[in-house]
Amino acid sequence: MNQLDNVKKGVFSNLKDDLPASLVVFLVAMPLCLGIALASGAPLFSGIIAGIVGGIVVGAISGSQLGVSGPAAGLAVIVLTAIQDLGAYEIFLMAVVIGGILQLILGFLKAGIIGYYFPSSVIKGMLAGIGIIIILKQIPHAFGYDKDYEGSLAFNNPDGHNTFSELFYMFQAISPGALFITLVSLAILILWEQPFMKAKSFTKIIQGPLVAVISAIVLGLVLQSTSYALKAEQMVTIPVADSISGFFSQFTFPDFSQLTNPAVYITGITIAVVASLETLLCLEATDKLDPYKRVSPANLELKAQGIGNIISGMIGGLPITQVIVRSSTNIQSGGKTKLSAIAHGFLLILSAMLIPNLLNLIPLASLAAILFLVGYKLARPVLFKEMYSAGKEYFIPFMVTILGIVFTDLLMGIGLGMVVAIFYVLYKNYQKPYLLDVKQTDRGEVIRLELSEDVTFLNKANILKTLNQMPDNTKVIIDASRCVEIEHDVNEIIEDFIEGAKYRNIEVEVINRKYRGIQENPVKIFERTLAVAAKKNGKLNPQVV
């Protein structure tokens, strides 16, 4: 039985891999949930709610075995603006519910197919770009400069600085205690990655990130009595409730009286579109990172995200998407099935309910060290080498996507990469509309022009130039047997060539498409063109096979 068969046995057959992975995902997800809530201008606990729903609800319904869902940094600006424009967080929650309903509808309409149209070069560029931006964004946290929120992926920061200027200001506020914790955490993580450590059985259960975080908590407590003590903003800050009833009082409900407010529906549509697009991108990227190369059902994912956003909006949570930082952390930590995502959701709710004070002892510097490793694995140098070797039509969209993500944001970077990738597709299509073969026979020179499956107006110039350059006193075979569609513009060019061939003593033979019982659209325009040309040409009638 191979490894994939073992994974397919069931969700609970991989507990020894999934539970340790879920703990690492939990450690990474918790500050990200809080940071994104802070950046969104929403209550801090709303990020935790979204993480809980994304883990438990979306994780259970989704067909993605390794994807992890939660609040997304890409929606932070949209959420912040929407809350301000709508006037109250409760009104915004109504828009989240509407957005979830629309996502559910998109899933039933099978809109998930959109995700399959993103080129591999752009997806790999997205992964590498996110890896680089994670490293750049975590450097200030590693040095103890925590002015920017955790989870930020945009170039411009809420404090008016940007990714690179933040590094300059960081040097004016270096915290020796935070830097020491970062170095110790990195040392532990690197040690856990060594082959001799991986060979030890206990390292599969006790993950390096967990050891790094526990060590960081101990160091933080030791440093409290020294001049290197960490400040409150250098620690995880989860809301602490006085009691269980106080914990549940942090849940908020939408304002249903705003159902007639058009602005709520506009915000809901925006959330549905952006969240769905980001989810499909991350779903495709997660499948590429999956060591077992499983393919997740995109339409089911949209339905799962829709249900998740409906529930999150109903109880006070932020909008949810599948997120690549947590998903890649899950994969790198050895997760095998969706149990790791579900378990991380339970860990979020139990820890927020029972041990918030303990969580608030975790230094952000130790989490920065964990994310350094995640970022490096997403942007390994070997990936750049592979893409460069693949050719410029893959490497250039790859690099444009990376630069776009680093200097703008995730969706803009993807958009720029897509534009460049589409340009190369059109350029290649323009260059190769046909194959040209020239042979010498006893009857003279025979030129064979074999058209590709789809011949569009983009190929007009090439085909027109080629036909005009055909030498006199030759035989030209135009082979359209492989064509599925020929646009009218190209047909006119062929018709004109056939008509003019009789004045140049060119014998024209056209091989039309043959149908062999396969249901395909007939090339009716092309056939009509040949029929018209045959009547016009007299003795140089084209021979239709």
pLDDT at position 545 is 43
Taking residues 9-34, report their average pLDDT.
Answer: 88
Question: Which region among 101-115, 142-156, 475-489 has the lowest average model confidence (pLDDT)?
Answer: 475-489
Buried b (16+ CB within 10 A) or exposed e, 378-392: bbeeebbeebeeeee
Q: What pLDDT is recorded for position 11?
A: 62
Handedness of CA 24, 164, 45, 77 (dihedral sign): negative
Could you tell me the pLDDT band of residue 532, with boundaries at 50, 70 and 90?
A: low
Span 231-256, average pLDDT: 89
Q: How confident is the model at residue 82 (pLDDT cuts 50, 70, 90)?
A: very high
pLDDT one-digit tens code per residue, 163-191: 999 999 998 889 999 999 999 999 999 99
Residue partners of 2: CB distance under 8 A and separation at least 6:
none
Longest dimension (CA), the chain: 104
- Please name the residue that has the structure tokens 């942007």: 379
Q: What is the dihedral of CA 358, 18, 113, 272, to 10 degrees?
A: -20
**Range in 275-279, 320-324, 373-377, 529-533 with the lowest mean pLDDT:** 529-533
Indicate the pairing of strand 434-441 with strand 444-451.
antiparallel
Query: Rounded CA gap, 304 and 318, in Å?
Result: 16
Q: What is the pLDDT of residue 150?
A: 83
Of 89-93, 246-250, 330-334, 529-533, the one with minimum mean pLDDT is: 529-533
Confidence class for position 443, pLDDT limits 50, 70, 90? low
The phi-psi region of residue 251 (left if phi > 0; otherwise alpha if psi is between -120 and 50; otherwise beta) is beta
Mean pLDDT over the full length of the chain: 88
How confident is the model over 494-508, as a mean pLDDT?
Answer: 87
Residue 89 has pLDDT above 90, yes or no: yes
Label residue 517 by pLDDT band (50, 70, 90): very low
Q: For residues 414-432, give the mean pLDDT.
A: 82
Residues 6+ apart with CB under 8 A from 475: 443, 444, 445, 446, 447, 506, 507, 508, 509
> Where do we find the tokens 């020929």?
486
**Adjacent-strand bridge partners of 437:** 448
Measured CA to CA, the distance from residue 162 to residue 432 in angstroms comes to: 44
Q: Which of 488, 430, 424, 475 is nearest to 448 (CA)?
A: 475
Averaged pLDDT for residues 500-505:
87
pLDDT attached to residue 509: 87
CA 39 from centre of chain = 21
Closest of 33, 46, 527, 82 to residue 236, by C-alpha: 33
Please determine, looking at this structure, whether the domain spanning 433-544 carries the CATH number 3.40.50.2020. Answer: no
444 compared with 270, residue with greater pLDDT? 270
Alpha helices in 249-380 (DSSP H): 262-289, 298-315, 324-332, 339-354, 356-359, 364-378
CA dist., res. 543 & res. 509, Å (int):
5
Q: Are 540 and 507 contacting, i.e. CB atoms less than 8 angstroms apart?
A: yes
Most confident stretch, 79-88, 114-123, 442-451: 79-88
Alpha carbons within 13 angstroms on the beta-carbon side of residue 433 total 22
pLDDT above 90 (res 416): yes
How deeply is 209 buried, as exposed, middle or buried, from its count of CB atoms within 10 A (0-12, 13-18, 19+)? buried
Using CA atoms, how far apart are residues 108 and 298, in angstroms rounded to an integer?
Answer: 11
- Which pLDDT does position 71 carry in this prediction? 96
- Planar angle of CA 211, 213, 214, nearest 5 degrees: 65
State the average pLDDT over residues 208-230: 94
**CA pair distance 389, 24, nearest whole angstrom:** 34
pLDDT of residue 522: 45
Q: CA angle, 166 as apex, 164 and 172 as ends, to 5°?
A: 125
pLDDT band for 516, please (50, 70, 90 cuts).
very low
Beta carbons within 10 angstroms of residue 357's beta carbon:
9
Report the distance separating Cα 212 and Cα 184, nearest Å.
8
Cβ-contact 138, 132 below 8 angstroms = no
Tell me what percent of the residues of the chain surpass a pLDDT of 70.
89
CB 375 within 8 A of CB 50: no
pLDDT (average), residues 453-461: 75
pTM of structure: 0.82
Say what the pLDDT of residue 445 is. 80
Q: Where are the domains of the chain?
A: 11-150+166-174+237-364+381-417, 433-544
Residue 243 vs residues 23, 248, 417: alpha-carbon distances, Å: 25, 9, 50
1-19 mean pLDDT: 70
C-alpha to C-alpha distance for 251 and 93, rounded to whole angstroms: 11
Sign of CA dihedral 232, 236, 239, 241: negative
Taking residues 33-62, report their average pLDDT.
95
Average the pLDDT over 379-402 and give the result. Answer: 94
pLDDT confidence tier of residue 530, bands split at 50, 70 and 90 = low
Query: Is pLDDT above 90 for 388?
Result: yes
Q: What is the pLDDT of residues 108-137, one digit of tens each?
A: 999 999 888 889 999 999 999 999 999 999
141, pLDDT greater than 50: yes
d(CA 459, CA 235): 61
